[in-house]
Amino acid sequence: MQKKIYSLLLISILTLSAFASQERKVLIIGIDGTRSDALQQANTPNIDALIANGLFTYDAWHCGITVSGPSWSTIMTGVWWNKHGVTSNTYTGSNYTDYPYFPTLAKQLLPNLHCVQVTEWAPMSDNVYNDGWDLKLKTPDGDGAATAAVASTQLATDSLDCMFVYFDAVDLTGHSSGFSPTNPSYIQAIENVDDKVGIVLNALYARPNYANENWLVLVITDHGGIGTGHGGITFEERHIWWVASGKDVTHQQITAADPGTYNLLGSGIFNQSGVNQTLLKSSPVQADIAITALHHLIYETGIQPETYPFWVGLDGKSWLSVFNGVDNVAKEDNIKVLPNPSNGITTFWFENEQKQNVTIEVFDMLGRNVKSFANLEAGNSANIDLSGIDCGSYIAKVKIGAQTLTRKIQVQY
């Protein structure tokens, strides 16, 4: 039974890769050693522009070892260090065979993906194998201008599907003069890298086919810092951030509590007791980046990375449904849908005391918009006609002014 499902799945995937062009693409920009509070203080117009249209968090959490090797390995594999095995910058003990970088996983479904890494940091370029990059380009450490130029050249190639661009200057400055928002050199280093991020983004927007492509841009750091170092479990080292921007991404800030750390007992001992598993599931953490990027790339296959039987053991979670505004499970009580299941005419009840404009959009479980109803009467209820769409489960997004409520609905004739 299960086998049959997989072979059907495989056929549809093969059909997809043979006939559909890959329009979903991913750009990850990594800025090493950038504290959340320092990023917020620095003048970063290019990152701010992504934030203005995207989803962002200044409260992402590092739950593992706050050293670059283990951190970037978690960001790229979607698992914590007890699985990918990297506990230091020597990368000794790495297990990328069982837990490869996300491009390797994506290529299991979409073998023709073209993936490129541009990094300033030699260990990541030299010590990582089975990582799925078709091309690894190394630029001089701390030379953001060179990195931005090389990345821009790659972005001009039509075949590019996935790229990771890495900047080291902020971390280098932190080590020389202090990881602190009160250190002007550290702030200046962040602003300089933001400038280079702008160059990379301009190259992205200048792609000849950009209008027909669906890029997910993720900007992230690997860890913070305290004094002139990092590697410990302080708030300053573990409090990080990320930004997601793209055509599917709605503007929203995520705030989240610290789930704790897997590293309370030091490297070599995997200690789950330091982590609140409930918070880990809801908070943005480092292991989510790979899963989110992977999910975006393989989205058309309909496969959820977290539940795909061949990828058991991934620790991170995809934020794609949140990007589409369908995360607000807790808000479901604020909206009533009758009848549900619906056989056509459906009534939504909600609070709308300020009589704001109401829009209702209906998405299928792959996130495709199947119906939209704009400029509905600004009352506390709305009747919409869903007759004609296929039977099945859908997500209704009800926008009331600036607020979005979501509700799962069923259509049944």
Interacting residue ranges for Zn ion, rule: CB under 5 A: 33, 171
Residue 256: φ, ψ to 5°: -155, 150
User: Based on CB atoms, which residue is closest to Zn ion, 165 or 400?
Assistant: 165
Measured between alpha carbons, how far is 29 from 50 in angstroms, rounded to an integer? 12
Least Å from the CB of residue 93 to Zn ion: 20
366 to 77, 120, 296, 299: CA distances (angstroms): 24, 37, 11, 7
Is residue 271 within 8 Å of 81, Cβ to Cβ? Answer: no
User: Based on CB atoms, which residue is closest to Zn ion, 171 or 300?
Assistant: 171
The CA-CA-CA angle for residues 77, 153, 165, to 5°, reads 25
User: Based on CB atoms, which residue is closest to Zn ion, 170 or 249?
Assistant: 170
Measured between alpha carbons, how far is 253 from 250 in angstroms, rounded to an integer? 10
User: Based on CB atoms, which residue is closest to Zn ion, 33 or 224?
Assistant: 33
**CA 229 to chain CA mean position, Å:** 27
User: Based on CB atoms, which residue is closest to Zn ion, 62 or 407?
Assistant: 62
Least Å from the CB of residue 89 to Zn ion: 9
User: Based on CB atoms, which residue is closest to Zn ion, 39 or 400?
Assistant: 39
Least Å from the CB of residue 119 to Zn ion: 14
User: Based on CB atoms, which residue is closest to Zn ion, 171 or 361?
Assistant: 171
Least Å from the CB of residue 87 to Zn ion: 15
12 to 6, 20, 22, 363, 382: CA distances (angstroms): 10, 11, 15, 21, 38
User: Based on CB atoms, which residue is closest to Zn ion, 33 or 232?
Assistant: 33
Least Å from the CB of residue 3 to Zn ion: 48
DSSP designation for 226 = B
The CA-CA-CA angle for residues 169, 172, 173, to 5°, reads 85
Beta-carbon contacts of 239 under 8 Å, excluding residues fewer than 6 positions away, are 35, 36, 37, 59, 61, 62, 224, 258
Least Å from the CB of residue 345 to Zn ion: 60
Least Å from the CB of residue 274 to Zn ion: 22
Strands 214-220 and 24-31: parallel
Residue 166: φ, ψ to 5°: -120, 130
Least Å from the CB of residue 76 to Zn ion: 17
Q: Is the C-alpha dihedral spanning 74, 324, 190, 39 positive or negative?
A: negative
Nearest residue (beta carbon) to Zn ion: 171
Measured between alpha carbons, how far is 57 from 66 in angstroms, rounded to an integer? 19
